[in-house]
Structure 1
Amino acid sequence: MGSGSCKGLTGVFPWALKAVALTSQGKNGDHAPTHPTTTAAALEHFTVNFTITNLPYTSDLENPDSARFRATQRVMNTLLDRLLKESSIGPVFQGCETTDFRPGSDRDETRVDAVCAYSKEPSAAPLDRVGLYHQVSNKTRGITQLGPYSLDKDSLYVNGYNEQPVLTTPTHATTTAAALECFTVNFTITNLPYTSDLENPDSAKYNATQSVTAALLDRLLKESSIGPNFQGCVTTAFRPGSDRDETRVDAVCAYSKEPSAAPLDRVGLYHQVSNKTRGITQLGPYSLDKDSLYVNGYNEQPVLTTPTHATTTAAALERFTVNFTITNLPYTSDLENPDSAKFRATQRVMNMLLDRLLKESSIGPVFQRCETTDLRYGSCSNVPLQCSHLCKGTSHAHVLHSYRLRTFSLLLPALPLSFLSPPHMQRSPLREVMARSQDDSKFLPGPLLHEHAQNVFEGAEECRDTNHTHTHILERQMTMK
């Protein structure tokens, strides 16, 4: 039995496992996701099992929420903690958690299962379970007494190790029963905002979320290759993710392992969990971060492909600005505040109209989007509003849906001629868009189009204002071959 065994894991671990256990090393030395490269002491687990002969088993001991279960659990934890703190692992001992009570072979007997933990330096030797067994035996008067409880002297198991009385004439070899092995599962939920309630094991939200995530893991792993031997999972901690809508989940799961069976195939189990969660994207009602899954410390990050030809030029991201004046949208102070409802509503409408217009132009296949960045008071009489945008091309028109535009109010700052008439286009996209206007007769004359675009429009031909305020553009990138 390795130090990852966890015989009797059926309860909840509110102790040190919650914050630290799931950052311990995997069986092959890999670290779980919290600190992949740390060499600090890791938390190792081992099991302790024994039978009490003067504690009659009742149905209350089967219910973790019953008063008797909790009271007996607290007593057992205290007795085991006191005993092991005085053992050879005392300086690094962390604590024990009683996880299960089971009926014994007699009505006055109760079997006890517990999981204990200690800190282990990377260079330290594995747990000496044989030596620890003998120390526990000595401190319980030959496995007969633990506090007020009488023990079955043949019932003690320390991390799966047990010594049965030697028979002078054994009829057949002693067989070793299957032991309970532990492994960790970690993942990040992207649609479960982390709150302080998820930090408190006594809160209603913590308990509800713990029950749901444990049930989802149980259902998933029962259908995996370890299904026949799978025992269950316990969600041990919730931690904040990198985004406010994210919550990281830590769980410990268990399965029965025969002594002769191969170790857990964590790589194979990782792929099975990945397949059953749609490529690590969905677990029941929860959306998952596809790179966040760890199974007993094993994780696969996406492979980054390197370019085959260093000289290959990928599509570049180009941006340009569009400015125009609306003559039938009165300017109000709300349009000066980006957080106001009117600003946001007007912004959405403008974005939609420009997007729809430019998607139907010759740059449509490479057009990305437009973003209205500013709404300003008009600089001329009867010109109440000016709009500034960042996008891939637009119309120098008089009508944009239900809005009337001032003639020649379109501004295309620093728009290069290569955009107006790129070599791979037969027609200028700006000419195309202009052609969509309802009144072509009032456009800039064709021969003047390039000249005005190249020299950066600072204002309309029929209305120049030296006090014109330039708009601060929030740059958005777009694909342009």
Structure 2
Amino acid sequence: MGIIYFTFCFYSSANGASATKVDAICTYVNSSGAPRFDQVAFFKELANKTNGVTSLGIYSLDPNSLYVNGYSEAASKNPTTPINSFTVNVSITNLPYTSNMGTPNTSLFNSTRLIMNTVINSVVNQTTLNFFSPVCQTIRFSSANGARATKVDAICTYVNSSGAPRFDQVAFFKELANKTKGVTSLGIYSLDPNSLYVNGYNEAASVESPIEAATKVPVDAASSEEITLNVTILNLAYTSELASKYSLKYNSTSTNMLYLVNNLMKNSTLGSQLINCLLDSFVFNAVGTKVNLVCNIKKDATGLKFDAGAFYNEVSSMTLNVTKLSIYKLDANSLYVNGYNKAMATTTTKSPSLTTFRIFGPRQFFLNFTITNLNFNASLANKTSGPFIILKSKLDNLLNEGFKYNSRVKDNFEICEVIRLRSTPESVDTTVEAICTFNMNLLARTFTENDIQNSLLEITQNGTTLGNFTLSRSSIHVDVFRVDVTTTASSSITTTASAIIGNLPSSAFLGFNINFTILNNSVPDDPTKRQMLEEDITNKMNGLYQNSTLSKQFKYCLLSSIRNGSIIVSCNCYFQDDPVVNRKSVQDEFNQGSDRGRILGLIYPLKDITVTEIPRNYDLPFWAIILICLAVLLVLVLLFLIIFLLIYCLKGRRDSYDIHQNIYETYFPHLDMRKLY
């Protein structure tokens, strides 16, 4: 039958809680092309291997309890117990997978499972099985599409009391496909159209491959390598929707982009080596939208290394000198292949373009990059540990020396400091987060995020090395850094690099404090896990409003504090001053984006939601204070001049009089005409 993989089991009470019922899913790859799985024959094999369904290792079994895909000899002989079961597998594309979700009995697993059971049972009970009262239980969550999606495994059971014909998995597959709009939506979830399996049956799989389960063998990392592609699209304006992987615009644009890039790769000299291409992110660019992609290829059998320069020339030729990719117009100087760019390789990089200033004084930027030759470990997450302190000191020195002596922004550079070292998703590498400060004085013009990123690329050999460390170029990202002034001393500093677009004074925004309680959870004692929780809540709050009707007015959300009982969250969200933005509209959008205030980000169950407006801060900016001081000084100087002139004039008129005293001690001034001429 092929190789069998035990997948997962689910436990429930049986026989009045004096026994335990075990439900399990087994998957296998039918690589031998053998006949279709025969549940009756396999039942007999299992019965034989368990001594007539009486023992399983150290456990004693109920002889009448064994079912294989709903088949039981006891059930077939005894019409009073006609219990049938079947498996359902599907992948959800708008629910990113996390490790906690795959761990049974965690709060995240339990809350997600509760929601999933509800939506699956709702759909299954709309089918023809409704008459038999089916009950479905989710038993497992696993990673799909590189953790960008979540695979769900469920077991459904029903009582076939009417003695109807045997369960038809093909017919039921078609029913489920119809009820989920062609396998695209399941309640609040979006589905991968090719991911639905019923008892291992999938229409696409039945035609394309002999794989019985919704599991594919992972690519061997030792025989493959990654290629990073970066390009800027001129006729695709960047919007906040492109930052949210749950938005319609992100999904439609990414699907189109992946189709075009995969076709381009298939038609290149790497076509036979191509495994797949994945979209990493869309990033704001002053002239359009920057697209970051990662393609996996098989390593050359002859050992020949990938030539980034040669492939750059090939892609350039296929895109009309990097000007056009189907409907998209490209920035001719924006193509990078593994960090290689022909313009940068042959000429010096252009000076960073500077824009007119918006504020004066220090301005901070958040820097993020991944070190590929340093494996992450728990000690690097502890800011008091020796390894963290040593590595932080070395990275601080490298960044400060690079910006101070070798960058085009050195005249305005002040200091860089590493604030955190963390693990990299789906990798053993170490990701670095740092804050760099630049001084904006009266005569300087402010820098944009792109200017700082270009300078960072400049001091890291186009994003490849920093001292002895090798970097992943696609991981380099720079954003304006902002800390919420209302954050309490006990709470961690919260950065929202992905959400903040500009560093404008808070008086330009309408702020709202949103408080809520996350049920069935608690604040982790571990600082690293606490920080991860804070970042996750912050990202989900930003995603909620980025996909709301207030998205055009929305600026960013910052976590103010979290504390136990279950988890009490306080978050400040800021919006552009607009008549449509008020306390009611902000609360309505929060309720709309959290399933009527019941669950945040499809993960956190909520209660006790309150929204209050934050009093606006009308503090004057630094440049306004300087102008006021200059104006006051000018007024004082003018006042001094006026007083001086008055005294001088009065003194001149006093000298024009000759005063005489008479015998009665009375003084009469007499104008001396001689002194006037």
Task: Please report the TM-score for the alignment, with normalisation by the length of structure 2.
Answer: 0.27
Greater helix content? 2
Higher relative contact order (CA 8 A, sep 6+): 1
Greater strand content? 2
Task: Please report the TM-score for the alignment, with normalisation by the length of structure 1.
Answer: 0.37
